[in-house]
Amino acid sequence: MRKARARAAAVILALAFGASGCDLVSSLTPFGVGTQDYSSIGGNNVNGDWVGKTGSGGDVTFQVGSDTVLKLHFQHVEGACILNFDATTTVPIVNGEFTVEIALTQGRFVAAGKFPTSATCSGTYFFEALPAGGCPTAGTGTFVAEKTTL
């Protein structure tokens, strides 16, 4: 698959460090993978709002419209720490898949999803090289989501 980059309209990362009470906000630049933009899987449309959970019990929400992932929210929970990753993107859905890679001021977050049907999405995510501060500086996880709107 050939790679192409998609620039973000605006991106913000908010890390809420549960027990430590620290907040960090960074500017991000996401980019995606792919050469063709389409959000139909076997004729089924995946445009809409999606809601789900990470394997760690955190929330996942994202919005798909015009063949792109427009907004996303991932929550990684580990002990008393809750890390929130939020972005507004223009990452295309290519062959029923997307990859959002967010370069942080310090570290990065990557989420990759696949739509096996027009109503379900699953995938993986990871983050690394985040600033130390009482919460994990790196981690991985899985997620599942269902479409809630057309």
Report pLDDT for 32.
Answer: 42
Class assignment of domain 12-147? mainly beta
Alpha-carbon distances of 52 from 6, 17, 143, rounded to whole Å: 24, 22, 7
User: Residue 59 is inside which H or E element, if any?
Assistant: strand 59-65
Q: Is residue 88 over pLDDT 90?
A: yes
Sequence ranges of the domains in the chain: 12-147
Q: Is residue 8 over pLDDT 80?
A: no
Of 6-10, 59-63, 134-138, the least confident:
6-10
| Three-state DSSP class for residue 37 | coil
Dihedral over alpha carbons 115, 56, 63, 11 (to 10 degrees): -120
Q: Is residue 136 over pLDDT 90?
A: yes
- pTM of structure: 0.72
